[in-house]
Amino acid sequence: MEERIKTIVELQKLDSGIDNLGDSREELTGKFKNLRQQFADSKKEYKEMTASSKETEKRVRTKERELLEVGENLKKYRGSIYKVTSQKEMESLDHEIENAKEQKSRIEEEILSLMEKTEGLKEEIAKKEKGVKEKKRVFEKEEDGYEKEIKDIEDKLEQLNRGKKEVIDVIEERLLSQYKRLRESKGGLAVVAIKNGACQGCYLTLPPQLVNEIKSSKRITMCESCARILYWSACPPE
Ligand SMILES: [Zn+2]
């Protein structure tokens, strides 16, 4: 293979490697961010539930105090029945007693429903707590692996970029900019091998004479159809 083609093929290999590593890094980072978010969300939900449970318990205590007060009032009203002297006073007292009884049963119902809510929340909180622990475990386990993998990718990237710099240094300016343009417009594939007499970029069958020329020629030849740089290799890559 002609030396210039060799270098450009090598450059493309390095560039593809760099792209793939970049993709892997992005995918890995996305996955890890997702795990971290799940863990954070789960913690937040647990906190909110705990706060809501505490708030409900506080409301139960307030209602219990109210109930006690209403009970005391009811006792007081009932105790005054014997001191009543007029029909009007009796009616008014009856009214107070009825009111207090209604209030009492209303507060009792409220307490019951608040306590049911607390019970439900307790169950949910226990479940959530388990969930938080599990998410924490997964996150921490992945964290180690993630940092190692990212480090590994960074090392490989550095190595490829060093290699790329060396290759670029020896490629002539014109060929390099042609390569860059092609790589950008042809989905990363600027140089392609000839396989079974066809361009491996667009699969156009090339005239045998052209293939022979490329085999022996010292000049850079491009595919007539897709404009990619063609090269001949005894064993083209799959
Ligand atoms: Zn082609």
For residue 218, pLDDT over 90 is answered with no
Q: Is the pTM of this model over 0.75?
A: no
Whole-number Cα distances in Å, 60 to 32, 105, 120, 151: 42, 15, 15, 54
Using a pLDDT cut of 70, give the percent of the chain over it: 98
- What pLDDT digit, counting tens, does each position of 142-153 carry? 998 999 999 999
| Distance between Cα 96 and ligand 1 center (Å) | 98
Q: Are residues 155 and 214 in the same domain?
A: no
Which residue among 168, 184, 209 closes a domain?
Answer: 168
- Structurally, the chain folds into a number of domains equal to 2
Q: Is the pLDDT of residue 38 over 60?
A: yes
Same-domain pairing of 84 and 182: no
54 pLDDT band, cuts 50/70/90, is very high
The rounded distance, in Å, linking the Cα atoms of 101 and 92 is: 14
Q: Ligand 1 center to residue 192 CA distance, Å? A: 8
219 alpha carbon to ligand 1 midpoint, in Å? 17
- Residue-range definition of the domain harbouring residue 50: 18-168
* 164 and 47 belong to one structural domain: yes
**Domain co-membership, 39 together with 54:** yes
Assess whether pLDDT exceeds 70 at residue 1: no
What ranges in the chain are assigned the alpha helix state H? 3-80, 87-170, 173-185, 208-216
In a shared domain, residues 119 and 154: yes
- Pair (68, 143) in one structural domain: yes
